[in-house]
Amino acid sequence: MRTGTGATRETVSQAWSPVLAAAGVEGQELGRQILALAHQVAAHSLASPLTDPGREPEDKVALARRLFDGAVDGRVVDLLSAMVRGRWSKPVDLISALHDLGIEAILAGAHADGTVGEIEQQLFEVHERIADDRELREALAPSRRTRTEARVRLAEAVFAAHVSAPAMSLLRWCVRHRSEGGPLRNLRRVVELAAAMRQRIIADVVTAIPMTTAQEKRLRTILELRLGNRIDLNCEVDPEVIGGARIMIRNHVLDHTVRGAVAELRTRLAG
């Protein structure tokens, strides 16, 4: 029998799903509010009192409502109330769950109005811009030398005019949330979730020279037949692979490059 964080997440998700489905396009605003609420909980060290196993569940609910009633949509307050009634293995798990629910709500709302693909494309382009700009990448990366909100303001100054409001809400989260890989890893995660919302999978393909349109079409067809999903190709050129292609799908790598074959041969000879 599941207990703690896993059980609470499952119970909350089952109760929240019909609320989110009924919200339709309003999910985008609910998601924005959930992410903002998660930021407030983290910034003001509220996770511990809201998850304290020594406090009565209704006492924690009363605290949540006292803090957020009138500040956010009633549905968001109800969601938080349901969450603090449950048991959490660690206080930070509450914040992580709020993050996941906020991202899901924004993407679900965008899916309802047909703009989730637009958000996916915008955040993919943001990812590529940051990856290609070393100065910007370093300025947005978590650092003791800069404050988190200063990095968020920088992201807003650079990108707000070029992406939709829901995409900007997600980008703010990507900059604020500390994780291994920083904003780039967070952006990739959100882009993959948006693709999944559209029943698609992203495949990163690295080749020595650009593929032709016909080659891309053939590769996409092969991958779709093997995986049973629609595939979006993210093609990159790296002359160092020499020949062939390296394909990365989620955490799986298919290395059919000359460079990869040489590296494998060297490993075998050394062994």
pLDDT at 106 over 70: yes
Picking from 52, 81, 113, the residue at the C-terminal end of a domain is 113
Picking from 147, 168, 199, the residue at the C-terminal end of a domain is 199
Picking from 177, 199, 221, the residue at the C-terminal end of a domain is 199
In this prediction, residue 262 carries a pLDDT of 45
Strand partners, 168: none
Same domain, 109 and 125: no
Cβ pair 69, 109 in contact under 8 A: no
pLDDT at 68 over 90: yes
- Domain of 71 in residue numbering reads as 1-113
In this prediction, residue 152 carries a pLDDT of 96
Inter-CA distances, 120 with 9, 30, 48, 116, 236, Å = 26, 19, 34, 6, 18
Cβ pair 106, 166 in contact under 8 A: yes
Predicted confidence band of residue 268 (pLDDT cuts 50, 70, 90): low
| SS3 state of residue 246 | strand
Same domain, 248 and 162: no
N residues, the chain: 271
- Per-residue pLDDT reduced to its tens digit, 114-170: 999 999 999 999 999 999 999 999 999 998 889 999 999 999 999 999 999 999 999
Same domain, 260 and 190: no
In this prediction, residue 245 carries a pLDDT of 79
Same domain, 24 and 107: yes
What distance in Å separates the CA atoms of residue 8 and residue 87, rounded to the nearest whole number?
A: 6
Question: What does pTM read for this prediction?
Answer: 0.81
Number of domains in the chain: 3
Cβ pair 44, 54 in contact under 8 A: no
In this prediction, residue 261 carries a pLDDT of 54
Predicted confidence band of residue 1 (pLDDT cuts 50, 70, 90): very low
Tell me which residue of 185, 183, 165 sits closest to 174, measured CA to CA.
183
In this prediction, residue 118 carries a pLDDT of 95
Same domain, 244 and 152: no
Edge to edge, the sheet with strand 244-249 lists: 230-237, 200-207, 244-249, 252-257
And the tokens for 75? 């549905």
Q: The domain that contains 234 carries what CATH number? A: 3.40.30
Predicted confidence band of residue 2 (pLDDT cuts 50, 70, 90): low
Same domain, 108 and 97: yes
Same domain, 243 and 262: yes
